[in-house]
Chain A
Amino acid sequence: MIRSQRWKGAAFTVPFQLGFVFLYLLPIGYAVYQSLYREQQSGLGLGGATEQFAGFDNYRQGLTDSAFMGSVLRVMLFACVQIPVMLLISLALALLLDALTSKVAGRFRILLLVPYMIPGVVAAIVWINLYSPEVGPLTPLGELFGFDWNFFAPSMVWPAIGNLLTWHGIGYNMVIIYSALQGVPRELFEAARLDGASEWRIARSIKIPFVRGALVLTGMLSIIQMLQIFNEPALFRNVTPQTVSDTFTPIMIIYNQAFNAGNYHYAATLSVLLALILGVASFLFYKLTSREVD
């Protein structure tokens, strides 16, 4: 390639690069910078606040902050339950679809993708109202079967959010797993059938190992989203603030530190910490799930 063309090619990417610096690198740098400082009230607080270098003090505080670390643990524990359940259902549905003719499969795929078309905030609003003992049909339905459930009770709020996330996510994950399944060479099934393998055996020994990559991918995406969960608990908090505290998830804590406590330095520190935790968690998940693939 001629030299001048190379630079013309680079020129196509320049507007994006400038924007990337302004909207990504600069904010991250600013957050890291802020995390190393703290606000110091001078005198009796009348002289205004001055910034003072704090080194890693904010980080020390963050790592021993039981509310923050508690919220990280809470979300991670929840992820360990919700994500496998959601992915298992998605996998099962993808396998069911894969066994149908493509015309019928296409119709079901659209139906199952309907929740994915619904904005997250709206999905949360709908389910909160379904759960509501006043307007929702789920409470009378429970009574019909002898359950006296209160979805806004502390023990039920995570299952309630989990169901909402599962409902919202299975269609999307199913499509990804399904398209991976479409890549399995069909001759393999015929060969297995000739050898007398049952459909269940084919699914277990051929299809599932084949879509492992897609499962790892969807799992990783779900972990990234889960650690940053905010919308759903924020909307639940609108209805039941006594159950969903403002320290319920890491991002809720960060938001509160910044906008209610006005402590930007600490909020920045916690954001950097969350980014690091996210990086480590995704790396570990990837290492753990892909070690046997090759």
Chain B
Amino acid sequence: MVLTDKAMKDTKESAGRPVRRLNRPDSAARSRGGQRFLLVGLILASMYSLFPVWWLIVASTKDRTGLYQSNGLWFSGWHLWDNLEQLFTYEDGIFLRWTANSFLYAGLGSLGGTLLALATGYGLARFEFPGRNLVFAAVVGSFLIPIALLTLPLYLLFSEIGLVDTPWAMLIPCLINPFSVYLAKVYTEATIPYELLEAARIDGAGELRIFFSIVLRMMTTGGATVFLLAFVNTWNAFFLPLTVLRGEENWTLNLGLYNWSGKRLESGVDLTSLVLTGALLSIVPMAIMMVAMRRYWRTGVTLGALK
């Protein structure tokens, strides 16, 4: 992908350590009225960001009548527990199954993908070998490939070897993630000095040992970011599961919610209440992860711009 050198450089510099500026002299010079104007703008924007989430939280506490008849932005009766019970018992608790699937695909797929990406990124960043530039060009070039171009033929290939409709159809594609490789390479360049590798070699450590006991350990921050972004990506995936998963016992949360939201037109069953409560629940793991790993993902988001 084509990038401006500037943007590339900026991002690389901020990759290793988060840039934090403590005192901003220019803000002190600002007038009070100006500050107030800024705050009003930001508060309005925050309200725009938050009100749909607020509405979703309020809506999941209502029963059907409340949902259709009361003011959308305020509570009316507390039925969250009933909604959750319904959600978890509907169709023999299929929602729990979807949740477990989402965790399985996102967790295992991202773990494997991260490990592979760290090894590849390290190989690309710290060794010279013929074809290295070609591999890196393929990694960056693949950011531009539309998802349909990969997914449809992948579906056909998977159906040839009998993988369609099995968890493997979701897990295998997660293992190969060019963007994770790109991130891992950038992080390696920022954290693993050549001298350290040389010193370890002189001490007689083998390359595998160096990778597992030195490189991986030093790459905890980078690895966590790669894992987090891969997890979020898989959790949010929609086109791939829609294409390769047919039977609903293998579906992800997204696929299940999509299907429920279409039930009303299809068969006249109104599952709005379940869809909304389920939607709220499917945000929870994202929110927990993002808050818990705030310091990692901010650099990840910025680097994500290069994708």
Interface set of A (CB-CB < 8 Å, partner B)? 1, 5-13, 15-17, 19-20, 22-24, 26-28, 30-31, 34, 89, 92-93, 96-97, 99-102, 108, 110-112, 114-123, 125-130, 134-137, 140, 167, 170-172, 175-176, 179-180, 182-183, 186, 189-190, 193, 199, 213-214, 216-218, 220-221, 224, 227-228, 230-231, 234-235, 238-239, 241, 250-251, 254-255, 258-259, 264, 267-268, 270-272, 274-275, 278-279, 282-283, 286, 290, 293
Q: Are B265 and A238 in contact (CB under 8 A)?
A: yes
Q: Are A121 and B257 in contact (CB under 8 A)?
A: yes
- A171 (CB) vs chain B CBs: closest residue: B49
Further 10 A-B residue pairs, CB within 8 A, beyond A125-B261, A214-B10: A1-B127, A1-B128, A9-B123, A9-B128, A20-B139, A24-B176, A102-B21, A126-B53, A179-B10, A220-B1
Q: In whole Å, how far is B147's beta carbon from the nearest beta carbon of chain A? A: 6
Q: Does B59 contact A (CB under 8 A)?
A: yes
- A241 (CB) vs chain B CBs: closest residue: B265
Q: Are A23 and B150 in contact (CB under 8 A)?
A: yes
Interface set of B (CB-CB < 8 Å, partner A)? 1-4, 6-7, 10, 14, 19-22, 24-27, 29-30, 34-35, 38, 41-42, 45-46, 48-50, 52-53, 55-56, 59, 67-68, 71-73, 116-117, 119-120, 122-124, 126-132, 135, 138-139, 142-150, 152-157, 172-173, 175-176, 178, 181, 201, 207, 211, 235-236, 238-239, 242-243, 254, 257-258, 261-262, 264-265, 272, 275-276, 279, 282-283, 286-287, 290, 294, 298, 301-302, 304-307
Q: Which residues of A contact B304 (CB under 8 A)?
A: 172, 176
9 contacts between A and B (CB under 8 A): A10-B132, A24-B150, A118-B286, A122-B283, A251-B146, A268-B152, A274-B149, A278-B146, A286-B2
Q: Are B27 and A101 in contact (CB under 8 A)?
A: yes
Q: Which residues of A contact B24 (CB under 8 A)?
A: 101-102, 186
Q: Are B26 and A267 in contact (CB under 8 A)?
A: no
Q: Which residues of B contact A111 (CB under 8 A)?
A: 46, 49-50
Q: Are A117 and B287 in contact (CB under 8 A)?
A: yes
Q: In whole Å, how far is A231's beta carbon from the nearest beta carbon of chain B? A: 5
CA distance A115 to B47 in the complex (A): 11
Q: Are A119 and B235 in contact (CB under 8 A)?
A: yes
Q: In whole Å, how far is B94's beta carbon from the nearest beta carbon of chain A? A: 17
Which one of B25, B135, B157, B201 lies within 8 Å of A30 (CB-CB)? B157
CA distance A20 to B65 in the complex (A): 52
Q: In whole Å, how far is B247's beta carbon from the nearest beta carbon of chain A? A: 15
Q: Are B135 and A13 in contact (CB under 8 A)?
A: yes
Given contacts A125-B279, A231-B239, contact A16 B272 (CB under 8 A): no
CA distance A45 to B227 in the complex (A): 50
Q: Are A108 and B46 in contact (CB under 8 A)?
A: yes
Q: Which residues of B contact A9 (CB under 8 A)?
A: 123, 126-129, 207
- B139 (CB) vs chain A CBs: closest residue: A20
Q: Which residues of B contact A267 (CB under 8 A)?
A: 152
Q: Are A114 and B50 in contact (CB under 8 A)?
A: yes
Q: Are A93 and B265 in contact (CB under 8 A)?
A: no
